[in-house]
Structures are given as structure tokens and as C-alpha cells.
Structure 1
Amino acid sequence: MLDRVSKGMEPSEPLVPAGAAYYPVPAASPTRSYAFILVPGFTLLAFSSAVEPLRIANQLSQQPLYRWMLMSEGGTPVASSSGISVCVDAPLEPMERETRAFVCAGNPAAAAASPKVVTAIQRHARFGGAVGGICTGAVALAEAGLLVDHPFTLHWENQPAFSEDYPMLCPTANRFEVSGRVMTCGGGAAATDMMLSLIAEDHGADFAAMVSEMCLRKVMTGIEREQRSSLSVIIRSRNPGLLRVVNLMNDHIEDPLTLDDLARVAGFSRRHVERMFLAVLGQSPGDYYRTIRLDRGRNLLSTTDLSLLEVAMACGFGSVAHFSKSFKARFGVAPTKFNYRLGASRRVQN
């Protein structure tokens, strides 16, 4: 009898629900197994967006194309970020090599770095298994040393903090990344995008398109790669000059450029840049730039354990005093009190 390390744990039996729609698929390939490792605070939307395409694929084909199981550290139910707890099938145990294992995480992102979760993912990859991260699940893969030389991503909200914690790793802005046996997505609807891509790889683009239709998605995966809307949509302007300057600001948060430098690099006069910002955004370039940097500071205070000085420096402020004064003016609370409030909230959740 094989031991559990070499044999791995059997996922649950495939679910093949009845349904009105039908799309035939040749029964040539064996059932593919998935394991979803839930950590506290995982995002329910992202998790269900990953599982449902598999269920729909089985329902459409009326074949057991996929089976899946849920795991947690102790085999106990796990509370999602919405407070809804989900029961699991088993505790963390070795899985069959053919299983695609995904860490499902959310906020706090550090939950994905649990030593037991990291060890399980590391071991599965070492034995040749495919591994993935959903939402902030990439943190587990980073801790396991599995993201080096692989394009990867995680939710855009958590990317600034991730870059501070893992400065040698650079996530992409894409909704999902599939690189060999490493698969990651930004969470939310991007989990469906990733699964549609994997289903297309397994059973063809036409079948994946039908699964997409069943998800009420008109556009197939791969058309809109980036997680966030275009900058022109966010600031409600298609002015190419304005977009050029705002992009420069976003690229230079830690090392802010002067207004003269912004204008010179963008190819405009200082006065022209000032007029553009006032006409389109209703504020000066300096005020808008400061807002971007303070929003980054709030993000880092919310998602990292960086000191106030480190956060101030990461946002291009020369001193804690200047950062604190600007922060309070924008958010109505001093960063020290904001950080304390967050800490109290985390203690209540835990």
C-alpha cells in the first residue's frame, strides 16, 4: 500500500448536475482534480468564481470533467471576508500530483503566509503538482519561493504592500497569469477568467466559450487583460496630455517629480499642465499628485506593518510630520490613530 505522501489524498467524487443546456465533449481525458485551500478572510466572490465554471463544465458536458475538494489547516470551517463560513472536506494533507492546488485568500493577505499552508503548497510543487493563488493567494506562493521567474499577479489593492514585503518580485497588472505549473489571479471575476482559460486548454475554446455564456459573460477571456479600468475611464478624460502627466505621477510616487519636471517630460509648459488639471479635474497638479501619494500611504497603513516613517518615505514625503499633517487633512484622522483603529479592528476579527 502506498503512503499518503506518494499517493496523495483523493479529492471528492465529481459532481455532474442536471441542466437544460448541453454541449458534447469527447470523453477522452480523465477527470481533472482541483483542491482549494481556504484561509481565514478568503474572498467568497473569488472562490465561487473559480469553482462555478468547473461545475458548469460538468453540467454542460454531462461528464465528470472536473472534481474539487476544499481544505483548511485544521479541517474546520473557514470564515470568509464577508463573515460567511464555508465547510471544508479535509484538513491540509498531501494531494495527488495531478491535482491543481489553489490557495484562496483575501484580507488580511498575511493569512496566506501561514506556515502550514506554505509548506503544503511547497511540498505539492516539489512533487510536480500545479499550484495557484486566488486574490492574495500569491502570498503563499511567494513565501514558498515558487514565483521566481514566473509572471504572476494578485489583487491590485494588495500589490503595493506585496511589493514592499517582496521587493524582488514584481506582480503584473493583469487579471490572471498562467505560467507553466504556476497560476494566479487578482480575485473577483478574474478567477472566472483564469478558469475559462484552463478549461479552454483542457477541452477547447468553443467549449470554454459556452461555459462563458453560461456565466452570462459576453466577452471571452483574454480580451481585457488588465485588472483595473483604463486611466481614461477612472479620471473621466481622454485628454492624452493629461493622461501622460497622471501616468508619470503614478510612476513616481516614492520619488515625486516637480511640476517643472512633469511638464518637461510630458512635453508641455508648466502653465499648460496647470490649465489642463484645473479644467478637467478641478484641482491643481500638486493637489492631485498629493492625493495619489496619500492614497498609497493609506493603502500601506491598511495592509502592511511598515513603520510610519517607512510609509512616509514610500509615498515621497520627506518627514513623518509632513506626511501626518497631509494625511489628517485628507482623511480627517491622524495616521497614528488610523493605524491604531485598524489594529483594534484586526484584533476583533481574530
Structure 2
Amino acid sequence: MTNQTPRPVVTHEDPKVLFEIFVQRKFCDLELASVIHTLQTANMVHGSAHFGWRIISDRPGLVQGNGVCLVRAEPVIPDHCMADFLIVIASKTADPAVWMARIRSMRRLGRSVILLADASTTFIARTQIETGAVTTHWADAVVLRETQDQPRLTENLSEFSNGIITAAGRGATAELVIGLLARDLPVSDITEIGRHLLLPEIRTSSSTQPFAPEAFHKFYDKAVSDALAIMEDNLTDPLSIAEIADEVDTSQRCLERRFRAVFETSPGHYYKQLRVRRAHHLIQSTKLPLIDIATATGFGSTGTLATAFKKFYGVTPSDMRGKHRERVLDYSADV
């Protein structure tokens, strides 16, 4: 058996693809670490310093993140030193003027712009989005929907429109960066990067953000926990909220109150969300006919499913299934 020598990483050559990472004071440590570690892993797997990066800021010098991360950032030179990709890791408390101007410069050159979480939230709140979908971290999306009319806001991990990728960021940052690298690397390298990062899977950009609290039953009081379990066990043939309340030995009014305290919504609305999310999973991960998916999630007809589905995801089930699903970024051909 012959020992295979790993390919060396060449560090002295200029990178062929350059990322510019814009940070602001109190940036998300996890997002910056995810971006850089994914690029480092990609270079290791590729066997050369194919991908490079530099960190810039509106306040150059040492920039403190929201945790223990401290980085040295270069100054932003307007309309100069533009990279292939601009990734913005902003702060909700800082002025977005500098990175918003940098976005405009990048778009004039046809370069790629990626806004993570806080940057995405700020951009959506300040910009009137007329075409295309946008997204951000689900917690910010809840606030945006309550304070503004945001019909184009989705729950996907990332969206691409008008030359800009808006993204949930946080723990999904590495997968987004892998998607950006996919156009320069073979599939074997992409999967190897995922293995090195210990990702259980590489989710596509159209995957729904994993914020379903029903996965954490044990943290809620018994009535809510038991109600969630009953809902999950009865997605095909939904029960009435009165029946569920009776099953958990409480009144419907009491269950309503407890649900709103935990989820800030009614049990009926939450129950429908569970069914729609299950339909979303089946549409993405199976080839079941839509009528079978509608039946399996308690909607009874494709029309009823389509109405509920479009309300949550902004597209119909048939439109979502019609999208190309073989890439990490479903819009990668356009980036």
C-alpha cells in the first residue's frame, strides 16, 4: 500500500479569487470565523492558495467583534482595490453608509455582494425591494414583518436579487461560502470541504432556516410540550385546537395563552406552520406528487396547499419544485 503525500498549500502566489470582508465594531465573531476558516479549508483541499481575503472596515485598525474576536482591518478606499466578492459582516448599531457605498461600487463593476444577517437586515429595512426575494436571520425577519410591509422577505438561508445575496448568516455562513466557491472547484473538492468542516450536509440556498422551536420540547412547560408532540403526530389528519387542549388536560383558552407566551402566535397558526414546513421538506427531498404531499400534510388538495405555501414562502409548491436543485446556491449561475 502506497502512502499518498498530501498536496502542499502554496502560500506565496497571488490568489486567483479575492474576497473582501467588511466588518464593523461588534461584528458577529462566528460569521467572520466561518468565512475565513472555510476559505482556508478550501485552499487546503485545493492544494494551493486559490482563494485570498482581506479585512476592511469603516474604522480601520483593531476592530472588536461582539465576543472575544479582535481583527486588524484595512481602510476602505472608495472605488479602489475592489475584490471579486464583498462579504459584509455589519453591526446593527453602526452607520451603514460606508459599506452601502461599497455595495454600489461593486454592483457597477458587476461583482458579487453578500450581506450576512445584520447587514442583510439593515439593507432590507433601508431599501425598497421591488423585484426579487430577500432574506435575513429569522429573528430579524419577524421584526421586519411586524414593522414594515415586506412581501418579498422569505425564510430561506439565502436569496439573490438585483446583484446582491442576502443571507441568514450565523451558523449557515460556511455553507453559503462553499456555494460561492462551487463555481471554481469540482464537486469532489466541495464535498471534501464539507467533510473537513464536519458538516452533516451542505444545504442549498433555498433550504428553510432551522428555527422550528418544536425540536426543543423539553424546554417548555408540559402543556405546550405535549401539544407540540400531538401536532407533530397529527400532521396528516389535523386535530382542532379544542381537541388538542383536551388531550393535554387544559382549556383551549389556557393553551392559547401559553402558546402566545412561548411562540408569540396562536396554536392554530403554529400548527399550520408545522404542516407547511413539512410540505416544504417533502417538496425538496422527495419526488412525491404534490397531491400526495398535500394529503400527507393535511391540506387535502393542491390548491389549498398552494395558498398556504405561498403565504409562508412567497412561491407556490410547483414553482419551488421547478427550480434547479443540483447546486449549493440555486442561483449560482447568476452570481
Q: Does TM-score exceed 0.5, indicating one fold?
A: yes
Q: Distance in 2 between matches of 1:223 and 1:138?
A: 15
Residue correspondence of structure 1 range 91-240 to structure 2 within 5 A: 91-95=76-80, 99-106=84-91, 109-111=92-94, 113-142=95-124, 145=127, 147-164=129-146, 166-168=148-150, 170-179=152-161, 181-222=163-204, 225-235=207-217, 237-240=228-231
Once the two structures are superposed, the pairs formed by residues 268-347 of structure 1 within 5 Å of their partners are 268-269=239-240, 271-278=242-249, 284-293=255-264
SS of the residue corresponding to residue 286 of structure 1 reads helix
- Distance in 2, matches of 1:104 and 1:124, equals 16
Q: Amino acid of the residue matched to residue 260 of structure 2?
A: Y
Q: Distance in 1 between matches of 2:205 and 2:31?
A: 20
The superposition leaves residues 79-113 of structure 1 with CA deviations (integer Å, 9 ceiling, x where unpaired) of 2111532111333532456521111025xx243x5
Q: When the two structures are aligned, how many residues end up with a matched partner?
A: 246
**Counterparts of 1:23 and 1:169 in 2: how far apart (Å)?**
49
Distance of 2:106 and 2:205 partners within structure 1: 32
SS in 2 for 1:150: coil
Query: Which residue matches 2:48?
Result: 63
Q: CA deviation at 1:195?
A: 0.9
Residue 72 of structure 1 aligns with which residue?
A: 57
C-alpha contact (below 8 Å) 1:242/1:273 kept by paired residues: no
Structure-2-length-normalised TM-score: 0.62
Give, in angstroms, the shift of residue 219 of structure 1.
Answer: 1.5
Classify 1:21/1:218 alpha carbon distance in 2 versus 1 (closer, same or farther; 3 Å): farther
Contact 2:131 2:161 in 1 (8 A): no
Distance in 1, matches of 2:125 and 2:211, equals 29
Residue in structure 1 matching 2:37, options 52, 58, 74:
52
One-letter amino acid of the counterpart of residue 116, structure 2: I
- CA-to-partner distance for each residue in 1:41-99, whole Å, 9 max, x for gaps? 11110111112111111122222321111110132222211153211133353245652
Q: Deviations over 1:190-226 (max 9, x none)?
A: 1101011122232132211111111122322329922
Pairwise CA distance, 1:163: 3.1
Question: Counterpart amino acid of 1:62?
Answer: G
Shift, 1:117, TM fit: 2.1
- One-letter amino acid matched to 1:284: L
Letter in 1 for 2:203: T
Cα offset, 1:170, TM superposition: 3.8
Structure 2: runs of 5+ lacking an equivalent? 10-14, 218-224, 266-335
Deviates more, 1:166-175 or 1:33-42: 166-175
Distance 1:57 1:118, change over 3 A: same
SS of corresponding position for 1:77: strand
Which AA in structure 2 matches 1:274?
Answer: A
Residues 48/243 of structure 1: CA separation in 2 closer, same or farther (3 Å cut): farther
Question: Closer, same or farther in 2 for the Cα pair 1:165/1:224, shift >3 Å?
Answer: closer
The answer to whether the 8 Å contact 1:34/1:68 transfers is: yes
| CA deviation profile, 1:160-186 (whole Å, cap 9, x unmatched) | 233345523643222233457322322
Provide the secondary structure at the position in 2 that maps to 1:189.
Answer: helix
State the distance in 2 between where 1:159 and 1:242 align.
Answer: 28
Contact persistence 1:36–1:101 (CA under 8 A): yes
Contact 2:41 2:193 in 1 (8 A): yes
Alignment TM-score, normalising by the size of structure 1: 0.59
Cα deviation 1:260-283 (Å, max 9, x = unaligned): xxxxxx96556313224547x9x6
RMSD: 3.6
Task: Quickly say closer, same or farther: Cα 1:165–1:119, change in 2 above 3 A.
Answer: farther
Matching residue of 2:72? 87
CA distance in 1, matches of 2:129, 2:62: 29
Point out where structure 1 has 5 or more consecutive residues left out of the alignment: 1-19, 25-29, 245-265, 295-350
How far off is 1:131 after superposition? 1.0
